[in-house]
Amino acid sequence: MGFDFARFHGPDLDESYVDYLLREEFIDRQLVFQRLWSYYRNEIHGLAGGELNTTDADWAAVARPYTQDQEFGMPARVTGASHLGYGGTAAGGEGLRRKEVVVENDIGWRIDTGVHFLFGKSPGMESLAADSDRARRIEAVLKVIHETNGGVALLQQMALLGGVYGFADIVVRLPATLARVDGRWVSGAGDAAVEVDPLTQVRLEPIEAWRAIPVLDENDYQRMQFYVLHYRKLLNQVSGGTDTEPPGGQAACQVTEILGPDWWQHYEDGDLVDQGPNLLGKVPVVHVQNLAVPGQYEGAGDVEPLIPLQDELNTRLSDRACRVTFQSFKMYLGRGIENFENRPVAPGRMWSTDNPDASIEEFGGDSASPSEEAHVSELREALDKTSGITPLAAGLLRDRLGNLTSAAALKVALMGTLARLERKRITYGEGLQRLNRMVLTLLDRTGIFPNDPEERATRLHWPSPLPESRRERLEEARIKLDIGVGKEAVLKELGYEPSEEH
């Protein structure tokens, strides 16, 4: 790929180094991050047929002719495959046969529950501008931009990416075709240009970790000098056939984007197709660590520490399923009885034989295995402790229902989940404040919404993750008003907009 970095200023960007990142670092990052995603999603492969590659025909003819991503960490004696490649493809091994494979995705529901606790509702955003009218205008502008980009769904995507990969990056963009003509904002070129609301053109794009490589300052890992995106883009056309794409399939191209503090470039299949200035004066990326980790760009994710426990749980559940399959039904061994295998076993059936040595032996039937049950139970408890998310947080009460007689008791039962939630509110809350500041800076630099630097600070009001009594919340709000807390601040804590009539 031939890069042209002549238009970039400030930190030097070496062409050979970027090429090295795409050839070496990108592949390693892609394998690691996509493996984390596969353990979260646990997708099924083989539903369309033709995706399972094996040399053992018996293995492919099992009752469940598909594989799941989490089988990657299970032993060959269970999966019947000596190797599970990425994406669930299997290669049969000598003498291996597929057993009863049971996968219970404890990782997926724990990640989803954590996302719902963090962003089940959108936090209120309050502008800290000194002038109240100006603050309300800024809040309205931010509300339009956030809602245009998905609102609470955007926040949930950010929390999901952070939970899986350990961090979430949000790129702030404006379309290259957005321009101001005769006092009107239009998007498009020539006759295709249409008038638009410029606020709805601001894009807040969550980036999957596997397609991005940050270029950090050599002396300060917290400072980003450039941001490189590399991914495969599907095109709305049929491929004519290339070195990498067979003819007749959907066409695609390799996209590389270089985002710098003052300039950006867009390459497709090695050719520079677009570029332009970055008015922000800094890399337009907001980086959020899921859980803060010092000394590194990535934070601590929620998936990685659960993988060994998930593999052990799936293995033991599969072993138990195999045992149950063999022992759940009684079987009979007949000796000295002609045509025994064709005689039905049913109530009221009478068998007779002249062989005095004939016999029928009964065996099989399920039996208790206390050590197995204890091991599975301890594995689930280990997953609870490691993730901080218990079945109670997902609504599974069981015999704990009688103990939850008050809100205080519920908070004690969910102490680990709530503590982890507070840690995430610090990192994601600070990230959202930086995102708001970057958006307002971009609006000012482009002239869409002029504002001063001291007006760009915001404060978040987080809703309670637990059910609360409406009466208690209103009583608490009345007490705050009595001691002098501002009416607008109290209304925002209750979830109301100050401009609404109450």
For the stretch 294-336, pLDDT in tens is: 988 999 999 999 999 999 999 999 988 888 777 766 777 888 8
Per the structure, the count of domains in the chain is 3
pLDDT at residue 457 greater than cutoff 60 = yes
Could you tell me the pTM of the whole model?
A: 0.83
At residue 108's C-alpha, the angle toward residues 212 and 150, to 5°, is 55
Query: Considering the domain boundaries, does residue 21 fall inside one?
Result: no
> Has residue 376 been placed in a domain?
yes
* 456 and 371 within one domain: yes
Q: Are residues 439 and 303 in the same domain?
A: yes
Say yes or no: 332 and 481 in one domain.
no
Alpha-carbon distance 144 to 141, whole Å? 5
> Given strand 167-173, what is the order of strands in its sheet?
203-207, 167-173, 285-289
* Secondary structure letter of residue 102 according to DSSP: -
Domain end call among 102, 122, 148: 102
Examine the domain organization and report whether 435 and 483 are in the same domain: no
One domain, residues 385 and 494: no
Residues 318 and 413 grouped into a single domain? yes
Q: Is position 245 within any domain?
A: no
The set of residues, in sequence order, having a beta carbon less than 8 Å from that of 196 and lying 6+ positions away, is 178, 185, 186, 187
Cα 74-165-104 angle, rounded to 5 deg: 35
The answer as to whether 203 is a domain residue is no
Is residue 485 within 8 Å of residue 454, measured between CB atoms? no
Confidence of residue 183 (pLDDT cuts 50, 70, 90): confident
Report how many helices (DSSP H) and strands (DSSP E) the chain contains, helices first.
13, 19
| Beta strand ranges found along 336-391 (DSSP E) | 359-364
User: Is 388 domain-assigned?
Assistant: yes
Asked if residue 120 and residue 156 are part of one domain, the reply reads yes
Can you give the pLDDT at residue 10? 75
Distance CA 462, CA 119 (A): 9
**Model confidence at 86: pLDDT above 70:** no
**CA nearest 497: which of 48, 142, 124, 223?**
124
- Enter the tokens of residue 393: 């947080």
Three-state DSSP at 341 gives helix
- Burial group, residue 325, by CB count within 10 angstroms (0-12, 13-18, 19+): exposed
The residue ranges of DSSP E strands in 300-424, in sequence order, are 330-335, 359-364
Instruction: Please tell me the distance from the alpha carbon of residue 127 to that of residue 134, in angstroms, as a whole number.
Output: 9
Give pLDDT tens digits for 100-154. Answer: 899 999 999 999 999 999 998 899 899 999 999 999 999 999 999 999 999 999 9
Same domain for 124 and 97, yes or no, is: no
For residues 96 and 142, state if they share a domain. no
User: Among 429, 446, 461, which residue terminates a domain?
Assistant: 461
Buried b (16+ CB within 10 A) or exposed e, 273-306: eeeeebebeebbbbbbbbbeeeeeebbbbbbbeb
pLDDT digits (tens, 9 = 90+) for 362-389: 766 666 778 888 998 899 899 998 998 8
Phi and psi angles of residue 325, each rounded to the nearest 5 degrees, phi first:
-60, -40
Question: Do 364 and 447 have their domain in common?
Answer: yes
Does the residue 118 lie in any domain?
Answer: yes
Instruction: Using alpha carbons, list the distances in angstroms from residue 495 to 117, 362, 428, 456, 477.
Output: 17, 68, 19, 21, 12
Mean pLDDT is lowest, of 87-91, 265-269, 350-354, for: 87-91
Is residue 52 included in any domain, yes or no? yes
- Mark 93-125 as b/e (b = at least 16 C-beta within 10 Å): beebebbbbbbbbbbbebbbbbbebbbeebbbb
Tell me: pLDDT of 502 over 50: no
Give the whole-number percent of the chain exceeding pLDDT 90.
48
8 A C-beta contact, residue 229 and residue 169: no
The verdict on residue 240 lying in a domain is: no
Residue 393: the pLDDT is 76
Type and span of the H or E element at 264 = strand 263-268
φ, ψ of residue 366 to 5 degrees: the values are -70, 145
Domain that includes residue 493, residue range: 468-502
**What pLDDT score was predicted for residue 414?**
77
* Integer CA distances (angstroms), 45 to 35, 41, 52, 64, 71, in order: 15, 12, 8, 11, 11
365 and 494 fall within a common domain: no
**Phi-psi bin for 248: left (phi > 0), alpha (psi -120 to 50), beta?**
left
Backbone dihedral angles phi then psi of residue 293, each to the nearest 5 degrees? -130, 120
Closest CA to 281 of 261, 264, 259: 261
Predicted local distance difference test score (pLDDT) of residue 93 = 52
383 and 478: one domain?
Answer: no
Give the end of a domain, one of 81, 102, 123.
Answer: 102
